[in-house]
Amino acid sequence: MHTVGVDLGGTNIGTVVLDDDDEVIGYAKRKTPTRGDHNRVVDVIVGGVHDAIDDAGLSVKKIDAVGVGTPGVVVDGTVGDASNVPGFQVRFSLGDLVSDLVDKPVRVVNDVTAGAVAEHRSGAGRGWNQVLCVFAGTGVGGGLILDGRVFEGAHGGAGEFGHQVIRQGGAVCPCGRRGCVEAYAGRQAMTLAAERHVASGGSTVLFDVMKKKGKSRPTSGVFSNALDLGDVFVADLIDDCISALAAGIATSVNLLDLEGVVLGGGLADKLGKPFRARVEAAMQPHLFFSPPKVELVSAALGDNGGAIGAALLSREVA
C-alpha cells in the first residue's frame, strides 16, 4: 500500500509518500499561501500531493489514500479555528475538497496528533503505550497516545498541552488566556516578550542576529544563536521556557501515569540535547511518583513527522 501524507504548516506544506514498510519514498515542499481563501490553500495541498507522487516515481493510480495534518480543531473531516492559515478560521470540509480533487479517500487529522502518531509508531516513542508528545515551536502543541491509540477526547480537542495553566493570572498567551505553558514556552510569546523588552529600553542581540541571518522574525535558529552568544535576556527567556515545559510535562505525567514523553518541535530541535536534559531535570521536583518512572526523549523524525503521521493514519480509510 502507498499513502500520501501532508503536513500543513503556517509557513510550508510538506508532503511525503510512504510505502508498506513506513519508508518515505517521495517528498515535496511548497510554500503555504499567506492570503486568499481556503480554496487557494487546498490547491497548493493538491499540487504538493502530485509533486510528492512524481518524486516517488509513482502514478496517482498507485496511491491508496491521502492523509492531511492541519492546524486547528478537526471534526469528521472538517477543520476550523486554525488562526495561521488563510481561510481556515471558519469551519469547512477540508477532507471533501481534497478528496474531490485527488479522487482518493482522504483522512484529515490535527497536525500535532499526526506528529505524535509518527513518533509513536516509527520515532522516539516506539514501544510505549502511554505517551505524550510535546512540540515546542511557534506555539506549543501536544499529542496523546493512550493504551497505544491516539486519544482525541470527546470533541477532538484533547492534547492541548500548551494551554495547560501553570501560573494563574500569569503572562498573556497567544490564545488570549493567561498563564498557559505556551505563554512562556512558545516562540511567538517569547518574541513578543523580547519586543516589549526592547521597546522599554532593554537590550538583546536577538533582533540583530535575526537581521544578520536574513530572517523576518526570530526563528528557533535565531534564538539558539543568541543564546550561544551569551545574551542574558534570551537566556532568561529560555529559563522560563524550560520551567514552563517542565511544569506542564510533570503535571501531565501526574495525571496520566505516562511511560514516556517525546519532546520535539523547532525550538527543542535547535536547542538540542542540553535543552532536553534541562527540561528533564526541572520536571523532577514536580513529579508525584516516587521513584519517577517517566523518560523524556527527543523527537526522532524532525520536520517530516507530521506528514508521516498523516500518511500512517490515512491507511485506516484506504
Instruction: Check residue 236 and give left, alpha or beta (phi > 0: left; psi -120 to 50: alpha).
Output: alpha
Tell me the C-alpha to C-alpha distance, in Å, between residue 219 and each of 34, 111, 206, 270.
Answer: 18, 20, 10, 10
Q: Are 108 and 150 in contact (CB under 8 A)?
A: no
Task: Pick the closer one to Zn ion by CB: 173 or 238.
Answer: 173
- Backbone angles phi and psi of 28, in degrees to 5: -155, 155
Minimum distance, C-beta of residue 26 to Zn ion, in the bound complex (Å): 36
151, 288 Cβ separation under 8 angstroms: no
3-state secondary structure of 266: helix
Report 152-191 residues binding Zn ion (CB under 5 A). 163, 173, 175, 177, 180, 182
Rank residues 99 and 138 by Cβ distance to Zn ion and give the closer one: 138
Minimum distance, C-beta of residue 173 to Zn ion, in the bound complex (Å): 3
State in angstroms the smallest separation of the CB of 267 from Zn ion: 16
- In 3D, which of 180, 178, 176 has the Cα closest to residue 163? 180
Shortest Å distance, C-beta 158 to Zn ion = 15
- Which DSSP category does 185 fall into? H
- The CB-of-163 to Zn ion minimum distance in angstroms stands at 4
Q: Which of 274, 273, 318, 278 is nearest to 298 (CA)?
A: 273
Give residue 252's identity as a one-letter amino acid code.
S
What is the closest distance, in whole angstroms, from the C-beta atom of residue 177 to Zn ion in the complex? 5
SS3 of 37-77: the string is: CHHHHHHHHHHHHHHHHHHCCCCHHHCCEEEEEECCEEECC
The least distance separating Zn ion from the CB of residue 56, rounded to whole angstroms, comes to 39
Main-chain dihedrals φ then ψ at residue 247, nearest 5 degrees: -65, -45
Nearer to Zn ion, 5 or 248 (CB): 248
SS3 label, residue 110? strand
Distance (Å, rounded) from C-alpha 22 to C-alpha 32?
A: 26
Least separation in angstroms between residue 180's CB and Zn ion is 3
Query: Should residue 66 be labelled a site residue for Zn ion when binding is judged by CB under 5 A?
Result: no
Cell numbers given for 27: 517528498
| Residue closer to Zn ion (CB basis): 90 or 172 | 172
| Nearest CB to Zn ion, comparing residues 177 and 217 | 177
* Residue with Cβ nearer Zn ion (180 or 282): 180
Applying CB under 5 A, the site for Zn ion has a residue count of 6
Reference 160, options 83, 73, 254, 269; nearest CA is 73
Cβ distance to Zn ion smaller for residue 38 or 163:
163
Q: Which is nearer to Zn ion, 33 or 141 (CB)?
A: 141
Binding site for Zn ion (CB under 5 A): 163, 173, 175, 177, 180, 182
